[in-house]
């Protein structure tokens, strides 16, 4: 005779089995689609490049060495690969500055939106998402039109008599930064807005009531409470920014390369698939380390109180 | 039961002697509201939430704004706190106009209806927040927080997050947080409405104790007439953006000025009467039955042919024979402490008499009985509207 307890336990077990069984197809697709290509990239990074692209199935750590080092053609000595390091540094720097810029612009935007009436909020939300309707390339070319030497900004500056010759913005790091900040701004605004919308503004009133001025209310009450949104927004901006491809090509003019352009080069003209693979994995590691450090740090400041 | 303890006295602004509050400037007004109007919306959607309100609130007073929802009581509180600014008029705090000041520059703190405790801070951090913002030294903040925790009996839970404590405890923390910076005036926006009945009773006593011990002027907003009557030194009854009457609980209950006040607070019988022979706040009212009774008269009463007289159900007496009024019993309702006897008067009006119960005898009246009602000389009040 099965006791009620046993029956319940068995029912629960079969329930768990059914759950796994039903989600198996989806899990399989996710597993294969997400980890499969990554595994191939990882394997390729330890192989030897073929003469016309592709790989030779022969183990070699050379690609990983080449990520930061370069081998002298004549005497095989290793030295730091200055070009790669410059590109790494530029990518990290631009991604960080883009994140900060979008945060500086996105936080007030989200605050503005969240403090509107419910009806107008939806309109603002709609307006924020409009850029997503257009192709990234077209948006980037639009930025190019604005910042090029004969573009709106320079024309206005010259007409206003502020400068006599056009300011060179296009094909500089600034151009890439402007382009990325514009393209990724909604990715910062939306998660912050989502947190801000849930914020109980009576807490803001309570803050004012307890002698906190506007800045103190922002720092001590609003910011800690919307921090999850800020963290999510920063991650959403930082990851695509460090891997940006189109923006540096169009606005950087190909001479201010970022990591994605370097990787593309290895798979295209460079015909060095293993190096491309190694660089890809290296970028992933950098992103993971950066995010871990960021989330940990953000978590710690939450506990801190001064 | 909460017992009123002495010995946890705070150093009050006014100073206290054996629990007796000695005001610094006796009789001075803490808050003076002068001709304040508040209009929300624009154009056709304009709504006057406050329609030219003037009221003076004395120092160390437990002052209650009482009225139904939408009467403007919370709007007035928010104007005093500084969350909204008046469309017209002045708000004086100890004689100084504070209407243009932002809330963080007013020595006034609020206990919010929703408590509005900071969820990312502990109980102690919440209580210390105001002092911290005032830039007080750390040692002083710690001492004061400890004192406040003791005052509201929350020492054991000081390290808890505010989401980890019960509603009644949150209420105490909200009180402690608002009292910690020693405000000149404490505003309470229906602070007890979220609590269950028993807890609410406890907190009522607790609030009175805190007000007594701190000597701070309390302005309390509620729609609960019983709460207002039991706790307040004075009550302002509000309706539709206006203050109808200001007075002690006894004044408000026994001598209502207008029909709304009489109706909103307690149960009342309204009788139509011809009022004559005024003078010295007294009048002779001739009821429809022909009986003449002496009544007090509301301030601002203008002589007119037909006025309304109110009599509280417990101030009238049901008699077997002839009284000032006569009619027949339509309903007898037993309430435990007393019995309500509903009478249809011969004049067509309805009248209720409340009679104290005893353990042994019944109320002595049955449905259908022909009865008389006698109204004493001190039982009736003539309304001004």
Break chain B into its structural domains and give their ranges.
Answer: 16-107+183-254, 267-382
**Chain B residues within an 8 Å CB radius of A213:** 104, 133
Which among B243, B223, B256 is positioned nearest to B381, based on CA atoms? B256
Number of H helices, E strands in chain A: 13, 4
To the nearest whole Å, the CA of A210 is away from the closest chain B CA by: 4
Residues of A whose CB is below 8 A from B82: 208-209
| Cα–Cα distance, B61 to B49 (Å, whole number) | 25
Residue A176's nearest CA partner among A286, A90, A283, A276 is A90
Q: Which residue has the tokens 């506007």?
A: A214
**Alpha-carbon dihedral of residues B153, B158, B162, B167, nearest 10 degrees?**
-20
What is the reported pLDDT for A300?
Answer: 60
CA–CA distance from B155 to each of A240, B128, B151 (Å)?
49, 14, 9
Nearest residue on chain A to B119, judged by CA atoms?
A225
B107's CB contacts (< 8 A; 6+ apart) are B93, B181, B183, B184, B185
What backbone torsions phi and psi does residue A304 show, to the nearest 5 degrees?
-65, 145
> What chain A residue is nearest to B134 in terms of C-alpha separation?
A211
Tell me whether residues A209 and B118 touch, CB distance under 8 A: no
Q: Which residues in B188-203 are b (16+ Cβ under 10 Å) and which e? A: bbbbbeebeeebbbeb
Predicted local confidence at residue A133, as pLDDT: 87
CA distance B125 to B119: 10
Q: Is the pLDDT of residue B292 over 90?
A: no
* B350, β-bridge pairs: B344
Q: B138-149, pLDDT tens digit by residue?
A: 999 999 999 999
Q: Which of B301, B307, B304 is closest to B293 using CA atoms?
A: B307
Tell me the three state secondary structure of residue B14: coil
CATH number for B16-107+183-254 (one of 3.40.30.10, 3.30.70.20, 3.40.50.300, 3.30.70.260): it is 3.40.50.300
Q: Which distant-in-sequence residues (6+ apart) come within 8 Å of B158 by Cβ?
A: B122, B123, B124, B145, B149
Q: How confident is the model at residue B1 (pLDDT cuts 50, 70, 90)?
A: very low
Chain A / chain B CB contacts < 8 angstroms: 62
B158 vs A: CB within 8 A: no
φ and ψ at residue B222, rounded to 5 degrees: -155, 160
Confidence band, pLDDT 50/70/90 cuts, at residue A2: low
Which residues partner with B343 through β-bridges? B329, B351
User: Which chain B residue has the Cα nearest residue A306?
Assistant: B132
Separation between Cα atoms, residue A87 and residue A259, nearest integer Å: 6
A216 contact residues in B (CB cutoff 8 A): 133
Which residue of A202, A208, A224 is in closest CB contact with B104? A208
Higher pLDDT, B62 or B366: B62
Closest residue, chain B, to A212 (C-alpha): B133
Cα B196 to the center of its chain, rounded Å: 19
Chain A residues touching B121 at Cβ < 8 A? 305
Using a CB-CB cut-off of 8 Å, the residues of chain A touching B179 are none
Contact B129 A210 (CB under 8 A): yes
Tell which residue, B293, B366, B372, has the closest CA to residue B329: B366
Q: What is the pLDDT of residues B150-171, one digit of tens each?
A: 988 888 998 999 988 988 899 9
Which chain A residues are closer than 8 Å to B104 by Cβ? 208-213
Query: Which chain B positions have a beta carbon within 8 Å of A200's beta carbon?
Result: 114, 116
Judge contact between B381 and B308, C-beta under 8 A: no
Q: Which residues of A touch B (CB under 8 A)?
A: 200, 202-203, 205-213, 216, 220-221, 224-225, 302, 305
Among the listed residues B301, B269, B300, B297, the one whose alpha carbon sits nearest the alpha carbon of residue B285? B297
Handedness of CA B137, B140, B146, B147 (dihedral sign): negative
Question: Is B288 exposed, middle or buried (CB count within 10 Å of its CB: 0-12, 13-18, 19+)?
Answer: middle
For B134, the token pair is 């005032």
Question: Nearest-CA distance from A290 to chain B in Å?
Answer: 26
Distance of CA A6 to the CA centre of its chain: 51
**Inter-chain contact B130–A211, Cβ cutoff 8 Å?**
yes
The per-residue pLDDT of chain A, averaged, comes to 89
Residue located via tokens 């160390």: B60
Rounded Cα–Cα distance for residues B200 and B227 (Å): 9
Is pLDDT above 90 for B62? yes
State chain A's maximal CA–CA distance in angstroms: 96
* Highest-pLDDT range among B95-104, B119-128, B342-351: B119-128
Q: For residue B117, list chain A residues with Cβ-Cβ distance below 8 A.
A: 206
Q: Tokens in use for A219?
A: 């720092």
- To the nearest whole Å, the CA of B219 is away from the closest chain A CA by 15
Which chain B positions have a beta carbon within 8 Å of A201's beta carbon?
none
The secondary element (H helix, E strand) that includes residue A9 is helix A4-44
Residue B147 Cα, gap to closest chain A Cα (Å)? 18
Contact B296, B380 (CB under 8 A): yes
Tokens in use for B163?
Answer: 């989401």
pLDDT at position B32 is 92
Residue B62 contacts A where some CB pair is shorter than 8 Å: no
Alpha-carbon span B251 to B257, nearest angstrom: 9
Using one digit for the tens of pLDDT, what is the confidence trace for B215-252? Answer: 899 999 999 998 999 999 999 999 999 999 999 999 99
Residues paired with B111 in a beta bridge: B188
Give the residue among A111, A90, A132, A105 at the shortest CA–CA distance from A241: A90
Mean pLDDT across A148-177: 88
Q: Which candidate from B119, B125, B181 shows the least CB-CB separation from A211? A: B181
pLDDT at A302 over 50: no
Residues in A closer than 8 angstroms to B125, CB to CB, are 305
pLDDT at residue B18, rounded to an integer:
39
Instruction: List Cβ neighbours of B360 (8 Å cut-off, separation of 6 or more).
Output: none
Q: Give me the residue from A202, A211, A225 closest to B112, CB to CB.
A: A202
Shortest CB distance from A208 goes to which of B102, B118, B181?
B102
Cβ within 8 Å of residue A201, ≥6 positions away: A115
Tell me, what's the ipTM? 0.80
B3 pLDDT tier (thresholds 50, 70, 90): very low
Which structural domains are found in chain A, ordered by start? Answer: 4-79 (no CATH), 82-303 (1.10.3720.10)
- CA distance, residue A301 to nearest chain B CA (Å): 12
3-state secondary structure at position B46: coil
Cα–Cα distances (Å) from B140 to B59, B124, B181, in that order, read: 26, 13, 11
- Tokens of residue B261, six digits: 């006040």
* Residues of A in Cβ contact (< 8 Å) with B118: 203, 206-207, 221
Pick B267-382's CATH classification: 2.30.30.90, 3.90.850.10, 2.40.50.140, 3.40.50.300: 2.40.50.140
Name the residue among A290, A275, A284 with its Cα closest to residue A68.
A275
Contact at CB, A209 and B81, closer than 8 angstroms: yes
B161 touches chain A (CB under 8 A): no
**Which residue, among B224, B232, B233, has the nearest Cα to B200 in the 3D structure?**
B224
* pLDDT of B11: 41
The percentage of residues in chain B with a pLDDT greater than 90, rounded to a whole number, is 53
Nearest residue of A to residue B138, measured between CA atoms: A306
- For residue B333, give how far its alpha carbon lies from the nearest alpha carbon of chain A (Å): 45
Q: Which of A200, A202, A216 sits opposite B133 (nearest CB)?
A: A216
State CA B6 to chain mean position distance.
Answer: 25
pLDDT at residue A1, rounded to an integer: 56
Give the integer Cα–Cα distance in Å for A254 and A248.
7
Query: Nearest CA to B1 among B199, B167, B208, B175?
Result: B199
pLDDT at residue B122 in the model: 94
CA within 13 Å, CB half, A44: 24
Write out residues 92-111 of B within 8 Å (CB-CB) of A: 102-105, 108-110
Mean pLDDT across A67-77: 81
- Of all residues in chain A, the percent with pLDDT exceeding 70 is 97
Phi and psi angles of residue B65, each rounded to the nearest 5 degrees, phi first: -100, 115
State the best of A199, A209, A218, A302 to mutate against chain B, taking most chain B CBs within 10 Å. A209
Q: What is the pLDDT of residues A8-46, one digit of tens each?
A: 888 888 888 899 999 999 999 999 998 999 999 999 999
């Amino acid at each position: 005779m099965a006791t009620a307890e046993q029956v319940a336990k068995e029912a629960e077990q079969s329930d768990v089995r059914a759950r796994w069984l039903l989600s198996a197809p989806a899990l399989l697709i996710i597993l294969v689609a997400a980890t499969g290509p990554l595994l191939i990239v990882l394997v390729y990074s330890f192989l030897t490049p073929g003469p016309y692209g592709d790989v030779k199935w022969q183990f070699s750590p050379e690609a990983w060495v080449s990520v930061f080092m370069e081998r002298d053609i004549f005497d095989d000595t290793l030295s730091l690969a200055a070009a790669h390091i410059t590109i790494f540094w530029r990518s990290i720097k631009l991604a960080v500055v883009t994140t900060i810029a979008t945060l500086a612009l996105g936080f007030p935007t989200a605050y503005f939106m969240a403090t509107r009436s419910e009806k107008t909020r939806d309109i603002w939300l709609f307006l924020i998402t409009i850029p997503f309707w257009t192709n990234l390339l077209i948006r980037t070319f639009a930025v190019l039109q604005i910042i090029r030497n004969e573009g709106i900004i320079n024309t206005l500056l010259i007409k206003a008599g502020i400068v006599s010759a056009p300011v060179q913005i296009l094909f500089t790091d600034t151009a890439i930064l402007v382009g990325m900040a514009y393209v990724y701004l909604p990715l910062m605004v939306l998660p912050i807005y989502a947190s801000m919308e849930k914020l109980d503004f009576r807490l803001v009133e309570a803050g004012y009531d307890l002698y906190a001025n506007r800045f103190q209310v922002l720092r001590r009450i609003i910011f800690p409470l919307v921090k999850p949104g800020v963290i999510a927004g920063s991650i959403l901006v930082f990851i695509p920014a460090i891997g940006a491809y189109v923006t540096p090509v169009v606005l950087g003019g190909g001479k201010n390369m970022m990591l994605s352009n370097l990787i593309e080069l290895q798979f295209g003209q460079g015909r060095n698939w293993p190096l491309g693979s190694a660089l890809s994995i290296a970028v992933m590691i950098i992103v993971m380390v950066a995010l871990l450090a960021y989330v940990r740090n953000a978590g710690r400041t939450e506990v801190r109180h001064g | 039961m909460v017992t009123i303890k002495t010995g946890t006295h705070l150093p009050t602004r006014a100073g206290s002697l054996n629990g007796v509050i000695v005001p610094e400037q006796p009789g001075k007004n803490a808050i003076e509201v002068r001709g304040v109007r508040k209009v929300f919306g624009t154009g056709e959607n304009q709504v006057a939430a406050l329609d030219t309100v003037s009221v003076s609130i004395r120092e160390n007073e437990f002052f209650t704004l009482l009225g139904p929802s939408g009467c403007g009581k919370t709007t007035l509180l928010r104007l005093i706190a500084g969350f909204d600014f008046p469309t017209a008029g002045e708000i004086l705090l100890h004689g100084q106009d504070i209407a243009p000041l932002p809330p963080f520059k007013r020595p006034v703190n609020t206990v919010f209806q929703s408590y509005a405790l900071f969820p990312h801070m502990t109980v102690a951090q919440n209580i210390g927040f105001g002092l911290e913002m005032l830039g007080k030294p750390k040692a002083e903040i710690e001492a004061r927080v400890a004192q406040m925790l003791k005052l509201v009996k929350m020492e054991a839970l000081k390290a808890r997050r505010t989401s980890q404590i019960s509603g009644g405890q949150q209420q105490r923390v909200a009180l402690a947080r608002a009292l910690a910076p020693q405000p000149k005036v404490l505003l309470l926006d229906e602070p007890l409405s979220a609590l269950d009945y028993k807890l609410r009773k406890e907190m009522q006593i607790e609030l009175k104790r805190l007000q007594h011990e701190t000597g701070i002027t309390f302005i309390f907003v509620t729609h609960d007439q019983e709460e207002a009557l039991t706790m307040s030194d004075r009550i302002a009854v509000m309706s539709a953006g206006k203050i109808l009457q200001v007075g002690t609980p006894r004044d408000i209950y026994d001598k209502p000025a207008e029909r709304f006040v009489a109706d909103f607070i307690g149960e009342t019988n309204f009788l139509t009467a011809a009022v004559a022979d005024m003078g010295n706040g007294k009048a002779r009212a001739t009821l429809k039955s022909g009986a003449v009774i002496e009544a007090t008269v509301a301030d601002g009463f203008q002589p007119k042919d037909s006025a309304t007289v109110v009599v509280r159900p417990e101030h009238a007496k049901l008699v077997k024979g002839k009284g000032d009024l006569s009619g027949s019993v339509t309903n007898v309702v037993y309430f435990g402490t007393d019995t309500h006897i509903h009478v249809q008067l011969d004049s067509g009006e309805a009248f209720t008499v409340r009679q104290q119960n005893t353990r042994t005898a019944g109320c002595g009246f049955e449905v259908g009985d022909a009865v008389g009602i006698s109204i004493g000389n001190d039982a009736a009040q003539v309304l001004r509207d």
